[in-house]
Chains A and B, each alone.
Chain A
């Protein structure tokens, strides 16, 4: 009853504005649960209450921020992994892994599909960059001796991720089905043939036959778009988790 006559000056437009602002604020709160992080409390909450940012601790030693220590290489490896995932998914919409169609699909990507050439370029250069960045990341971790206990196993996971990066890049190399990819993969899988004792069998298993053909294409495709990325994602999760638990190695 006390509110019967709240304000003679309040006009309906203001009321609508206020109500929608309040609603917007409620929605914002439901998503982020705290206001923009500009106090110690909200900054801690920002990292703690967000599943993506939660990969980080809430606070960090100032010395660990030195860019010339990490050169952001680990983060960049993940960045390229994400770039390749997104561009790869987009390319998959227009690519059929068939020896009769694959090459034409790449041609169409370059000529018919909007931004197809750009996406393909991004995927290719990103893949090369990822190989380089992952390798450099390994060098960085080695030279700063960041594998010291308790981080031994995470170093092993990192080596496995390096191998996976090579395999991801190599399996993708065949997919355009042009002379370049065909012969590069022929040469590459011939290396597997040289394995002692089981060489020919290893190559036979890998390419699904005696020479690169439809079987090899579908094998490489499935490995490239599902099996290897899944394995990489799992190992990346383990890798990050251990980094998070063991803390940053730098700035001691």
Chain B
């Protein structure tokens, strides 16, 4: 079988297979000279098809832009959390709107602010803060840990993982302190290999 062009349309013709005559050689017909002349009917057809195409593209494009949500919940935007005085050192505060914990560590832990994204870095469960549980990391004992109920990953107050399947510490969000007001950019989530002092924002 071979494909040849006849009147500008590809046509399947026999030939070329073993035991058959060779395929006709009609390369010259790929662009016959007459094809440059477009008949009125063909012109109308092209106008019709192209108009429909442009219309469809326009409709699909409009739909996609329209479908792109502009007003989404507070998660993903910058949230005002409150005044610095509301978060004394050693506290872990749940901020459900932003899906994070605002942590103010004790001086020996760094003494700064951290916004820990509450999604477990293992498989995405929401990690609760258990202030009655204890954990040991680097020889130090911490009272109060994050303990994931799904697969038992455990993190200390800085978000550092010390037990369970979690591969890395809890992710952090950008904390912005202007004056005495704390804001958290919930759209800016940073992964880290290890909890460092430099993650914490000093007041």
Residues of A near any B CB (own CB < 8 A):
1-3, 6-7, 9-10, 14, 17-19, 21-22, 25, 35-36, 38, 90, 93, 108, 112-116, 119
Contact = CB atoms under 8 A, between A and B. Distances in A.
Contact of A115 (B3, B10, B18, B65): B65
A106 to B, nearest CB: 13
Given A3-B23, A114-B65, A116-B66, A22 B12 contact: yes
B3 A22 contact: yes
A2 B20 contact: yes
B66 A14 contact: no
B167 to A, nearest CB: 37
A38 B41 contact: yes
A14 B27 contact: yes
Main secondary structure of the interface of A (DSSP, over half): loop
Given A22-B3, A90-B63, A113-B70, A6 B16 contact: yes
A110 to B, nearest CB: 13
A114 B23 contact: no
A36 B49 CA distance: 12
A90 B66 contact: yes
Contacts of B68: 114
B25 interface: yes
A223 to B, nearest CB: 25
Contacts of B17: 3
A7 B16 CA distance: 11
Contacts of A3: 16-18, 22-23
A14 B2 CA distance: 13
B27 A112 contact: no
Contact of A1 (B18, B41, B66, B70): B18
A3 B16 CA distance: 6
Interface of B: 3, 5, 9-10, 12, 16-23, 25, 27, 30, 41, 45, 62-63, 65-68, 70-71
Nearest to A25: B10
Nearest to A28: B10
Contacts of A113: 66, 70
Contacts of A108: 71
25 contacts: A1-B18, A2-B20, A3-B23, A6-B16, A6-B23, A7-B25, A9-B27, A10-B25, A10-B27, A14-B27, A14-B30, A18-B30, A21-B3, A21-B5, A22-B3, A25-B9, A90-B63, A90-B66, A112-B70, A113-B66, A113-B70, A114-B68, A114-B70, A115-B62, A115-B65
B74 to A, nearest CB: 16
A21 B5 CA distance: 10
A114 B69 CA distance: 9
B24 to A, nearest CB: 10
B10 A21 contact: yes
Given A18-B30, A90-B66, A114-B66, 17 more contacts: A3-B18, A3-B23, A6-B23, A7-B25, A9-B25, A14-B27, A14-B30, A18-B10, A19-B3, A21-B3, A21-B10, A112-B71, A114-B62, A114-B68, A115-B62, A115-B65, A119-B66
B66 A22 contact: no
Contacts of B12: 22
Contacts of A18: 3, 10, 30
B149 to A, nearest CB: 32
Which residue among B5, B20, B71 has the maximum number of chain A CB atoms within 10 Å of its CB? Answer: B71
Contacts of A93: 67
A6 B71 contact: no
Contacts of A38: 41
